[in-house]
């Protein structure tokens, strides 16, 4: 692929990533084209299907998750609770997007989605395993907690709510994530007999 074509592909994938993180998977190629400042035909030329696009976008999202964990790496030595809390809160924002019903249904039902499922279920779980190992050492989670359980739980509590609900109960999402972490820690202490 020519350098200019590769650069255009990268711009489109980055624009799609930003849109997906902001609005979820149910975005159109027209929205992606507008975000990337290219034509719709250009998006289709580089990514003929949404799954082709997701194969390029998911590693970028995974890179963002990895960056969150790396940013907190040093902090684990001086203030592990703050490192854990900050990582979980930042990951919650991503988990909410990655676990929206539309993504789960699309990835579960379409045979083309195997590569994307692999990224989510293998690569992301490996990243989360390293976080959970540290959290286990500090008593924030139980040894029995799997990366997939953590991912699904975090996605469940951080799911975007209808705007009316967030108006009625401001700060609910933060409260839910904080209580998720408190519940994980309570379970860890119970399992240790504390």
Q: What is the structure's pLDDT at 39?
A: 94
Q: Give CA–CA dist 163/42, Å, rounded.
A: 34
CA distance 27 to 115: 20
First to last CA, the chain: 59
DSSP assignment of 106-164 equals: HHHH-GGGHHHHHIIIIIHHHHHHHHHHHHHHTTSS-TT--HHHHHHHHHHHTPPPPHH
The residue assigned the tokens 């933060």 is 174
Q: What is the pLDDT of residues 77-131, one digit of tens each?
A: 999 999 999 999 998 877 655 655 556 666 666 777 777 777 777 788 888 999 9
Which helix (H) or strand (E) element contains residue 182? helix 172-191
164-174 mean pLDDT: 89
Contacting residues for 116 by C-beta, under 8 A, at least 6 apart: 51, 54, 55, 58, 107
Confidence check: pLDDT of 136 > 70 = yes
What the chain holds in terms of domains, given with CATH numbers, is: 1-48 (1.10.10.60), 50-191 (1.10.357.10)
Are 24 and 97 within 8 A, CB to CB?
Answer: yes
Q: What does the alpha-carbon distance between residue 91 and residue 40 come to, in Å, rounded to a whole number? A: 31
């Amino acid at each position: 692929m020519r350098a200019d074509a590769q650069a255009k592909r990268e711009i489109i994938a980055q624009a799609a990533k930003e849109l997906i993180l902001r609005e979820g998977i149910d975005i159109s190629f027209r929205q992606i084209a507008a975000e990337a400042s290219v034509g719709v035909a250009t998006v289709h030329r580089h990514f003929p299907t949404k799954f082709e696009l997701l194969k390029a976008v998911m590693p970028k999202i995974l890179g963002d998750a990895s960056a969150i964990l790396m940013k907190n790496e040093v902090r684990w030595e001086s203030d592990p609770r703050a490192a854990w809390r900050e990582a979980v809160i930042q990951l919650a924002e991503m988990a909410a997007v990655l676990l929206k019903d539309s993504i789960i249904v699309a990835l579960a039902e379409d045979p083309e989605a195997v590569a994307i499922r692999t990224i989510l279920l293998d690569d992301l779980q490996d990243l989360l395993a390293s976080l959970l190992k540290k959290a286990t050492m500090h008593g924030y989670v139980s040894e029995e907690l799997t990366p997939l359980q953590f991912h699904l739980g975090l996605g469940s509590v951080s799911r975007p709510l209808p705007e009316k609900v967030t108006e009625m109960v401001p700060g609910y999402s933060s409260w839910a994530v904080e209580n998720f972490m408190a519940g994980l820690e309570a379970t860890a202490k119970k399992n240790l007999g504390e």
